Amino acid sequence: VPCISSGLPKPTNITFLSINMKNILQWNPPEGLHGAEITYTVQYFIYGQKKWLNKSECRNISRTYCDLSVETSDYEHQYYAKVKAIWGMNCSKWAETGRFYPFLETQIGPPEVALTTDEKSISIVLTAPEKWKKNPEESSISMQQIYSNLKYNVSIYNTKSNRMWSQCVTNHTLVLSWLEPDTVYCVLVESLVPGPPRLARPSEKQCVSTLKDQTSELKVK
């Protein structure tokens, strides 16, 4: 039964949260209706096409997010989405997003970071993040395949000297040389793509220790 578009306030702050092409529409409940049993209905639109489309799994839902990854998976297209609040027989007007361009707006997740140490060096191997996929069985697509100009900003922190430095690399292996033996170094890596400003999503900080200096060990003996 269609609801009556009344003075019910609209949902607020409707935006796409997009990471590696997983595109979640999210919003805040309408203001001033705490405690009311509000439900929501979502529609989406492909820029340049003709009509708004329903997302059946997001009809009369009580949560304040909706996964539109499948519907917005052609990342060369641009999209709009909208949501309205429903309370009993009454519903709000639609609250609409701006134009969403996944190719330019998705946040690029951090790479996988593997560290191996030596006395005076640390080898870093980076694996590009994977694009979101509908089913785990689907073959994986690396974000590198989508963004050929994907780079990494590697930050290194010497916990003994408190010194920190960064390097921007394009390939997937990096050897940090001339380090101090028997010292803990922490590494943090962020994926970068030239183009519009994007929110960064750095990797977890990983700390490893360089090995003890074998030559000084022998002298001691």
Partner 1 sequence: GQEFQFGPCRVEGIVLQELWEAFWDMKDVVQAQDNITNVRLLRKEVLQNVSEAESCYLIHSLLKFYLNTIFKNYREKAVKFRILRSFSTLANNFVVIMSKLQPSQENEMFPISENARRRFLLFQREFKQLDREVALTKAFGEMDILLTWMETFYQ
Residue numbers at the binding site for partner 1 (CB under 8 A): 45, 47-51, 76, 78, 80, 98-99, 101, 103-104, 149, 194-197
Residue 10 or 210: the one with the smaller Cβ distance to partner 1 is: 10
Kindly state the smallest distance separating residue 50's Cβ from partner 1, in Å.
5
**Which candidate, 9, 146, 132, 147, places its Cα nearest to that of 68?**
132
Beta carbon of residue 150, minimum distance to partner 1 (angstroms, whole number): 13
* Phi, psi dihedrals of residue 130, rounded to the nearest 5°: -95, 145
Closest to partner 1 by CB, 101 or 132? 101
In the complex, least distance from residue 15 CB atom to partner 1, rounded to whole angstroms: 11
By beta-carbon proximity to partner 1, the closer residue of 76 and 138 is 76
Report residue 202: phi and psi, to 5°. -65, 160
Dihedral Cα 165, 171, 172, 178, nearest 10 deg = -40
29: exposed, middle or buried (C-beta count within 10 Å: 0-12, 13-18, 19+)? middle
Q: Which is nearer to partner 1, 2 or 194 (CB)?
A: 194
> CB 66 → partner 1: shortest distance, Å?
19
Tokens of 154: 């590697």
